[in-house]
Every structure is written in structure tokens, then in C-alpha cells.
Structure 1
Amino acid sequence: MSETETLICEGDTCEVRPAEPQTIKPINLKPSPNLNIQIVSDWVCPFCPIGEANLQKGLDLLRQNGIWNGEASIEMLPFQLNPEVPEGGVDHLEHLSKKFGSRERVEQMQDMITQKAKDAGWEYRFDRVTISPNTINAHRLARFAQERGKQTEITELLFRAYFTEGKNLSDLDTLTELGVQAGLDREEVAAYLHSNQDVQDIRTFDQHIKRQGVQGVPFFIVNGYAVANGAMPPEHFQNAIQEVLKLQEQAQ
């Protein structure tokens, strides 16, 4: 990935854009005294796993260069690229073909994304994806897992289930199985997913973060500072986090 590129999804559009200088600025979310990294993402955003992988590489660069040697907590925050999709999902290829004009255009885009994912260490199999889901329940499962200390596990499982295995993230039975694989109790997960708990909270946050100006994902916030709009290269994360550390030091 070139240092002059960023990868970002807005609505159904996922594309490579020229990387513009990122202004490190506060964003009105919950502050944290520690190195707390918040990633605004959606489970159907193909650049979100790539962005997280590049973030981890950026943290490694900080450690390798002796700039920072602490621990970082990562919190996934919900964003719905396609909140209008019905609860059961829609046909994936038909849905994207309407957005992009043709199947050929969709296939070109998917080929590009697959290569970007491979460069970041992910295997994408769009040929296995048949359903474009509504992700509200996947976000609920992620919150349920996070509250029980299983965010790392559920994050990888959800992304891999969709982009590598082609599973339907609208299906509650599928989500329940992913919760069990993450180490959660089957009956508790099933009862939670079949309830309406947290549905409104997630929708409200999705609307809130969009009002804050976040229109595309992945979007990265470090200790309350917006540092990256899109899946930036590892070097960008290294430099941006270093700048945040300097700003915090000056503020003390």
C-alpha cells in the first residue's frame, strides 16, 4: 500500500483515494486517560480489517523506534453503511450491481479490494458472499462480547465470517455460533440476540457519530483525537499517534 493512498468505505462505495494530510483534532466522544484507540467501523466494510491491521503495524513501528512502549486498548464503535437494508439482508451481487451500474464494475472493485486485503494479511473470498446484511445485530453481538472481555475474538470472527467464509451476518443462528466460538455462553447469546436489547442504543450512536462528521469507515480515534479517515498506511498511524502523544504531553 502506497503512503499516498487511503482506503475508505462510504455507503456502498469502497475506493482508493489520495491520502490528504490528516488534521489531528478532538472529536466529541468519551475521553480516556490511557492510550485508548476507538475504531468506527462496519462489519461489511472491506477496508476496516485492513485498517486495523495497518494500525497494529503502526503500533509496532512506535515500539520498534522507541517512541512508545505501552499497551493500547482497542474499542470497536458501530457504524452502519447501509442501515436501509432489510433485517434479513438482500442479494449481495444484485445490491452492489445496482449501486455501481454493472457486475463487471463490482468484480473490478472486488479484485482490487482482494489484493489490498492480501497485502494486509487477510484472505477475502467475495465469491462466497451471497447476502448483503443489515449489520445491526452483528453490532449488538460485538457489544455483548466486548462487555464480556471477548472483543478481540469476536472482531476477527465477524470479519472472517463475512469476507472469508461468506456467512450471512443477518442470520441470528449464525451470529449465535460466532458468539459461542468467541467463548460466550450459547443460551445467553441466543437470548440476547432474540431480544431488542441495545438496538436503539446502537442506532442512536450511529446517528451521533455521523453528526460528528464521520461519513466513512474505518475511522480512527486515539485518546479523543481523530487521527485517520480510512485505512491509512502503518507509517501514518505511527506519525499520527506520536503527534497525539506530544499534544498530551504539552497539555500536562
Structure 2
Amino acid sequence: MIGSMLTVEIVSDLVCPWCYIGLRRLDAAIAEVRRELPDFACEKRWRPFFLNPDTPPEGEPYLPFLEKKFGGPAPVAALFERVRAAGRPWGVEYAFEKIEVRANTLQAHRLIHWAQQRGDAARLVERLFVAQFQRGERIGDRALLVQVAVECGYPGEEVESYLASGQDSEEVRATERRFRAMGISMVPTFIVDGRQIVVGAEDPAILATAIRRALA
């Protein structure tokens, strides 16, 4: 097959550690398919999801939230270790100890939405995951988002003006509601060519199979 092109929509939230691993596994799946079909091209489109829609705009203390959700320090420590072990084979090192605030991710999703109107946002998304899980930066903070955008080559004044406005806020929320209405409740969820759905940070072989089916 020559010149094969499809779109993979990645429904995710930037405070979900499994979504970072899912990004790596998707890239591995794309590389696997490309070894068979060198001309295969894939467009990744990031879609918003709010793991905790009630997170206040300023965020909330990270560990207390998780300890309440999962039943105390021991279950949270075990969760962190499982995620760390899952991330290492994919070159993802988590620094959960650096995270002080669990962010409200609306503004970060707005930034991704804005960037995708201008092309591929993969570099921006990667940098936001690094901010959240490796640097402990506050990705709900407007100034931090502007800084990250500038690092990724976007014009700082334009980004700052956009984030200061309410532009696209309702569109992002409506998109998130649409995916929930489709029955999506776990992230990451991958929608391959609008037809094949893979839920969770699955093995690259499973994602590659979904891509092949879509191509067929």
C-alpha cells in the first residue's frame, strides 16, 4: 500500500501518567507498521478529557487528593511504583515526588487545541507531559503554559493573549462531553481512523493491529 494516511485521535488528560506511556506505545506501533509500509503516514490529533472535572481552576494539593481517592499513602506508593515500572521500558522516568499540585487541565487542553489549528502539536504535548511528570511544573498556570509554548516555537504574546481570553473554552468542554457521550471513560483511548477504538495504554502490537485493520 503506497501513501497510506490515517488519523489517530488520542483522547487523554495531561495529569494521567498512563497517557504519557500510551504516547510512547503509540509511537512504537506506528514505527512497527511503517517497517511494513514505509510510506505509511499517521496524523495524531489530541482530544481533551478531564479525569476530574471538579478540579478547581487553581488546582489542588496532589498527594492528599490521591490518598483520599485510593485509600491512603500505601496504595498511592504502590500505584506510583507500578507506573514507574511501566514507564521505564519506554524511556519515561516519573518524578511524582516533584508534583505539588494536581492541575485543572482546561487551559492546557485549550493550548493544545490552539496549536493543532496551526499544525502538529506533538512536541507541545510531549513537553507538557514532561512538565507534569518529570519537572513537577504547574501546567494549570498560564505563565508556565506560555513559557512551554515559547520553548516549542510558538509566539509568546499570541499565546498569552489567547490563554487570557476565554476563546475556545466552551468548544474544548463540548468536545470532552462528546467523547464521554460516546462511552469513553478511560484514558488514553485511541480512535484509529474514526473506526477502530483501543482503550488504555495498550501494547504496541495491539495498537499496530488496529492501524492495520483501519488501513485494510
- What secondary structure sits across from 1:183 in the alignment? coil
Change (3 A) 1:95 1:34: same
Residue 226 of structure 1: how far off its partner (Å): 3.1
| Alpha-carbon separation, structure 1, partners of 2:215 and 2:120 | 28
Correspondence for 1:213: 183
1:63 to 27, 34, 59: 34
Is residue 2:216 matched to residue 1:237? Answer: no
What's the CA shift string for 1:90-126, capped at 9, x where partnerless? 0000011110110111111011101111111111100
State whether residues 222 and 244 of structure 1, in contact with CA within 8 Å, keep that contact through their aligned partners in structure 2: yes
1:1-252 pair list within 5 angstroms = 34-64=5-35, 66-67=36-37, 69-246=39-216
For structure 2, the 5+ residue unaligned runs are none
Distance 2:193 2:38 in 1: 14
Q: Is the 8 A contact 2:100 2:136 kept in 1?
A: yes
* Amino acid in the other structure paired with 1:228: V
- Provide the identity percentage: 34
- Give distance in 1, aligned partners of 2:214 and 2:116: 25
Is the helix fraction higher in 1 or 2?
2
Query: Counterparts of 1:225 and 1:56 in 2: how far apart (Å)?
Result: 19
CA RMSD of aligned residues (A): 1.3
Task: For 1:67 and 1:169, locate their aligned partners in 2 and report how far apart those are by CA, in whole Å.
Answer: 37
Q: Aligned partners of 1:147 and 1:139: how far apart in 2?
A: 13
Letter in 2 for 1:82: N
Structure 1: state its 5+ residue gaps: 1-32, 247-252
For residues 192-242 of structure 1, what are the alpha-carbon distances to aligned partners after superposition, in whole Å with 9 as ceiling and x for unaligned?
Answer: 111101111111111111000111100001111133100110111121211
Moved over 3 A (4+): none
C-alpha deviations, 1:67-107, integer Å up to 9, x for none?
56311111001111111000000000001111011011111
TM-score (norm 2): 0.95
Aligned letter for 1:48?
C
2:84 maps to amino acid: T
